């Protein structure tokens, strides 16, 4: 576990490398069971991708990242979502408890 994220360092490095290759300027937040202590061996990893200015990420670029993650040797599903396309209520839930995965200072963030 690193920085409040239930994820092996080698898996994190692989995922970060793929994100940086396909979407180098995004900030990535992890949320869900791997950040709140509810994960188990088969838990997926939920990631919200935040582009500069919180603008939508081009669909083709997002699709290429998703394909690269599927084709990787990561032994669990990595779900990636474009922050700009998430419903406001869902964004608020993510804001209340997430871990900055990459693209910013990695740390646990808890809302009020």
pLDDT digits (tens, 9 = 90+) for 11-59: 999 999 999 999 999 999 999 999 998 998 889 999 999 999 999 999 9
22 vs 68: CA distance, rounded Å: 9
Rounded to whole angstroms, the Cα distance separating 73 from 109 reads: 28
pLDDT in tens, 93-102: 999 999 999 9
Cβ count within 10 A of residue 61: 15
- Residue 42: the pLDDT is 86
Q: Are 65 and 28 in contact (CB under 8 A)?
A: no
- Exposure string over 24-41, b if 16+ CB within 10 A, otherwise e: eebbbbbbbebbeeebee
Distance from C-alpha of 90 to C-alpha of 66, rounded to nearest angstrom:
21
Question: Domains in the chain, start-ordered, CATH in brackets?
Answer: 9-110 (3.30.460.10)
Q: Which residues are catalytic?
A: 44, 46
Euclidean distance between CA atoms 107 and 76, whole angstroms:
22
């Amino acid at each position: 576990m690193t920085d409040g994220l239930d994820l092996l360092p080698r898996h994190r490095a692989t995922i970060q490398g793929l994100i940086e290759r396909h979407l180098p300027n995004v900030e990535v937040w992890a949320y869900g069971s791997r950040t709140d202590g509810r994960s188990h061996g088969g838990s997926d990893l939920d990631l919200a991708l935040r582009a500069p200015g919180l603008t939508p990420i081009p669909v083709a670029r997002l699709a290429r990242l998703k394909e690269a993650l599927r084709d990787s040797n990561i032994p669990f599903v990595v779900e990636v979502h474009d922050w700009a396309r998430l419903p406001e209520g869902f964004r608020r839930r993510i804001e209340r408890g997430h871990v900055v995965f990459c693209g910013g200072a990695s740390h646990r963030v808890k809302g009020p």
